[in-house]
Amino acid sequence: MRDTAKMMQTGLGDELFQPTGASGDSAPPALYGGRCNSCGYVFFPPQSYGCERCGSTKIDRTELDGRGTLIASAVVHRHLDPARPAPFIVGSMELERRVVVRGLIEAGQDALAPGCPMETMIVAETRPDRGSTDIRFRPAV
């Protein structure tokens, strides 16, 4: 297994992202999503329970480009887990094929506005049971 975060058992592979981009090494890290073979619906994160649109269990893993557009963001000032340092920023980004991804954002709130171009980045994972790297979003450079 590559040195990537092992975040959940999906039935479609354990990894949610790869360190290199979908279109080559200069692209931001790619995400792994699911694609329904029956209706073509694409989603993230990957899961094998069935398509959210049609219910088919004929699902394959697909690679999603790490670039998208910020839909909304919010600053979390207090987390349910007191061990989680706050404040931090969460956001919803729309990627290719209209896939909406929610994740942590590495940027100041001043740099964020709906419609802002975003991209993925690799960061060191702080939870030892999750691998050595994790993925975040940042404003595209």
Q: How confident is the model at residue 9 (pLDDT cuts 50, 70, 90)?
A: very low
Model pLDDT, residue 85: 85
Q: How confident is the model at residue 2 (pLDDT cuts 50, 70, 90)?
A: very low
| Residue 1 within a domain | no
What tens digit of pLDDT does each residue of 30-87 get? 999 999 999 999 999 988 899 999 999 999 999 999 999 999 999 999 989 887 789 9
| Residue 12 within a domain | no
| Residue 8 within a domain | no
Number of domains in the chain: 1
Model pLDDT, residue 4: 35
Helix/strand/coil for 54: coil
- The pTM of this model reads 0.78
| Residue 7 within a domain | no
Query: From residue 22, how far is each of 31, 55, 120, 130 by CA, in Å?
Result: 8, 27, 11, 23
Structural domain boundaries enclosing 80: 17-139
| Residue 65 within a domain | yes
| Residue 89 within a domain | yes
For residues 12 and 127, what is the distance between their CA atoms, to the nearest angstrom? 23
| Residue 112 within a domain | yes
| Residue 6 within a domain | no
DSSP labels, 71-93:
EEEEEESS-SSTTS-S-EEEEEE
Q: How confident is the model at residue 10 (pLDDT cuts 50, 70, 90)?
A: very low
